[in-house]
Amino acid sequence: MEVQETRVQTDRVLTIPNVLSMARLVGVPLFLWLILRPVFGGPNSDGWALLVLMLSGVSDYLDGKLARRWNQISSLGRLLDPAADRLYIVSTLIGLTWREILPIWLTAALFARELMLLVMVGILRRHGYPPPQVNFLGKAATFNLMYAFPLLLLSDGTGWLSSLAEVFGWAFAGWGTTLYWWAGILYVVQVRRLVKADTAAD
């Protein structure tokens, strides 16, 4: 994460990038329901859950690319895109932990990072700064986690494909968690510098 201003090029709400981000948000409860169906005695719907997650990843790529190409960067889009990313991560953590595919310690580590970020956003707002923009490191962390989660879901089975998915899933999860915390720590450093500069100016 980095604290920076991105030039808003439109105030329109119903742009194609924003509609894509809204569709991703709608997919969050659907994904969580699909992934938890076996827990409540329903049929296994992991294939459909994987499809929703894959479509979310495609739309995540498209909404940012189209917003820049068509000059449709908006204040709403700046809020929707990272919100959708985090909600998918949170819902996946809940689902996979509930199904005992993810260990509690990994879930706790990722939730702790999210809590830290919320605290930093609160500090920024008190000092009159806007919410942070996602930088390359943060996007790389999300990219790794969004690959890790479907692979780990796929590993909840038998056969060589599940075994292979488990190996690659944990590799992506390890890198994603490391990058997630690295981006968070850099963000804390940036916030600290801003607060220190404001205090010195006063």
CA distances from 40 to 30, 35, 43, 52, 152 (A): 15, 10, 9, 20, 20
Q: What is the pLDDT of residues 145-196, one digit of tens each?
A: 888 888 888 888 788 888 999 999 999 999 999 998 998 898 888 888 888 8
**pLDDT over 60 (residue 34):** yes
Q: Quote the pLDDT of residue 74.
A: 66
Spatial contact of 75 and 61, defined as CB atoms under 8 Å apart: no
**Least-confidence region, from 11-20, 21-30, 110-119, 161-170:** 11-20
Spatial contact of 102 and 109, defined as CB atoms under 8 Å apart: no
Q: What is the pLDDT of residues 74-107, one digit of tens each?
A: 666 667 777 787 788 888 889 899 988 899 999 9
**pLDDT over 70 (residue 11):** no
Contacts of 28 (CB under 8 A, 6+ apart): 84, 87, 88, 91
Question: 0.85 cut: is pTM over it?
Answer: no
How far is 153 from 186, CA to CA, in rounded Å?
A: 30
How far is 59 from 152, CA to CA, in rounded Å?
A: 21
Closest CA to 27 of 16, 39, 19, 37: 19
Q: What is the pLDDT of residues 105-135, one digit of tens each?
A: 999 999 999 898 888 888 888 877 776 666 7
Q: Answer with the residue of higher pLDDT: 42 or 79.
A: 42
Instruction: Tell me the average pLDDT across 57-66.
Output: 72
Q: Quote the pLDDT of residue 4.
A: 43
Q: How many CB atoms lie within 10 A of CB 177?
A: 18
Instruction: Tell me the average pLDDT across 28-37.
Output: 90
How far is 158 from 41, CA to CA, in rounded Å?
A: 20
Q: What band does 202 get if pLDDT is binned at 50, 70 and 90?
A: low
Q: How many CB atoms lie within 10 A of CB 184?
A: 20
* Topology of the domain comprising 16-201: Four Helix Bundle (Hemerythrin (Met), subunit A) (1.20.120)
**pLDDT over 70 (residue 10):** no
